[in-house]
Amino acid sequence: LPPGTMAEFGVRAPPSAIAGVMFHVDVISARGLKAKDSNTLSADSSDPYAKVYIGTHFIGKTAVIKKSLDPTWSWSKNFRIHGGVEAAMAMDIRVELLDKDTVGGDDPLGQVIIPVSSIYSADGAKTTVDATWYDVAPCEGEDAPTGAVQLGFSFTTGAEAVGESLATFAANVMKGETLPITLHDGEDIEVAASWDFHSYRPYVDLDVSAVVFNDEGVVLDACYYNQLSILGGALRHSGDSRDGAAGGIDEAVTIDLNALERNVFAIMIVLNAREGTLQDVDEAVIEVFNGTASNRKGMACVEGGSSMADLRHENGFIIAAIMRDEKTDAWQLKSVLEGCRGKDFTESLDAIRACVDTLIPEYLTEFRELSLERSFDMHKGDHVQITPDSPFATNEVFVGLGWETRCDIDSSIVLLSQDCRVRDIVYFSSKKDRATDGQFISHGGDNTTGDGDGDDEVITMKLSAAPPDIHHAVVVVNIYTDNTSFADVSSAYVRLFVQRDGNDVEVAKYALDSTVGTRGLCFARYARSASGGWDFSAVGEGVPGKRARDKECVDAVVN
């Protein structure tokens, strides 16, 4: 591929859904290659390896053979070509030969370009080209190459292709699509990554991580280069590759899905660049295999493509989710392909969690409980549970409110009985609930401008101290500044946080995600649950009035 361009990123589609051509390539050996290391201690030699493309698709790379002009690789790969025979016939097979150079970019040794139409018999179900020698031709950066490379190919179409693809060929699922995972007894899956870098950019240390979540979006564990085995060996990491110099697979995570506990919902596969950005990557392939260690079968593949090339500032990439169907208990692979910030998976956790939130079935989100392990990114209509014995009920919880617009916004808590009669209103000039003298609720005071970073107003609550006749506590904010509505206010949010070791730990946040053209806003609500705990809900509904105690505002909140 030309510098700065990459093939499209995608995970490949279920075999039954594709009328494709199955392509198999063998890169066997080379002879008489040009010596590139004539000015070093490795005089008259090279460290050759090969990169293989079909059309615009990067298939993979061989190992680097040190100090040899006659290397033997014995490398092979299977690939599914989309669009059937017509698409395959329009493609070229390209094998680039390069000399690995750890100082500066790799040196080109030449290339071989073979039109598929010259070797593929479109009227036959299968075409095979046994090991054949091809002369090395000039390429950009090398106009006088020497030697030849030994290659073999096969193409399979029709019913034979569909049957064979189920066992040995990667399926192709595009961004957002899913692929069922079928395993037999004793089988596991392997998620394997390989990559290369632009010759004009320095090497970047890429890391593959597998982050494990339960169905509440809580991180259970992570498998990565510094923690090679987790969950009793159910996930195992191959170890760190710092420069992508190895042939074939650079890093891999093996997952024994049958050994996972029932509380595992999703395993997120993430790629991070410790230095630089993902634009430094020339090609990257993430492959998913099933089977046994001695008999791996290609199940899915993700190509490094334009999605990664467009990540100008991101150094993280959420590749895919291996997730459990909560109703059938079956596993499936879902392509994600979203960029994020973070030089390692820990710095990307917010983005990974947000992605997991979109995967959790809606019926399960009804039973979410607040947790110190994560912060819930809430949207209008979402709610989380607070059980009676949880620390969020028995200890102080802080309600922080913030906004960016310079105006006087006041926060209040409207306390209601079970039949929604107003019992009290806590606000900046009545800072404590009357029934408990502030043991239940206390207000931190008024911010008249919205200036400064962080929360503009904070309200402290201890739910276990709530009087028994209080069943609802509604968080209301009102704009006191005239001629201003919430349509004029930017970055408004409400969040819940606790104090832990002297630091704020956020456990839920709702950023206003709709346009509200009123001066008042019913932002969120606590409501007693039948179990004796509380539900915290993101409401986001406009109400009239510039003060929470105004009759028109109270009437709207109650109704």
Q: pLDDT by residue (tens digit) across 153-212?
A: 988 775 444 333 333 445 555 677 788 888 888 889 888 877 766 555 556 678 899 999
Q: What's the CA gap between 539 and 559, in Å, rounded?
A: 13
**Torsion of Cα atoms, 214 then 173 then 195 then 291, to 10°:** 70
CATH class of this structure's domain 376-558: mainly beta
Given a contact cutoff of 8 angstroms between Cβ atoms, the answer to whether 9 and 284 are in contact is no
pLDDT: which is higher, 502 or 527: 527
What pLDDT, in 10s, does the model give residues 384-437?
Answer: 888 888 888 889 999 998 888 788 888 999 999 999 999 999 999 999 999 999
Sorted by sequence, the CB contacts under 8 Å of residue 518 that are 6+ apart come out as: 485, 486, 542, 543, 544
CATH topology of domain 12-168: Immunoglobulin-like (2.60.40)
Question: Which has the closest alpha carbon to 510: 414, 355, 407, 402?
Answer: 402
The yes-or-no answer to whether 173-362 and 376-558 have a common fold is yes
Of the CATH numbers 1.25.40.10, 2.60.60.30, 3.50.50.60, 3.40.50.2020, which one belongs to the domain with range 173-362?
2.60.60.30
pLDDT at residue number 182: 81
Q: Mean pLDDT across the stretch 364-388?
A: 75
Confidence of residue 282 (pLDDT cuts 50, 70, 90): low
Residue-range domain boundaries for the chain: 12-168, 173-362, 376-558
Q: Report residue 322: phi and psi, to 5°.
A: -100, 110
| CA 88 remoteness from chain centre | 31
Q: What's the CA gap between 116 and 132, in Å, rounded?
A: 15
Q: What's the CA gap between 436 and 458, in Å, rounded?
A: 19
Confidence of residue 3 (pLDDT cuts 50, 70, 90): very low
* Bridging pattern class, strands 219-223 and 92-99: unpaired
Sorted by sequence, the CB contacts under 8 Å of residue 315 that are 6+ apart come out as: 272, 273, 274, 276, 277, 278, 341, 342, 343
pLDDT: which is higher, 235 or 500: 235
Q: Could you say which DSSP state residue 555 is in?
A: H
Q: Could you say which DSSP state residue 215 is in?
A: T
Q: Could you say which DSSP state residue 82 is in?
A: T
pLDDT at residue number 251: 86
Q: In angstroms, what CA-CA distances link 250 with 170, 207, 284?
A: 19, 9, 10
What pLDDT, in 10s, does the model give residues 20-31?
Answer: 677 889 999 999
Q: Mean pLDDT across the stretch 523-534?
A: 89
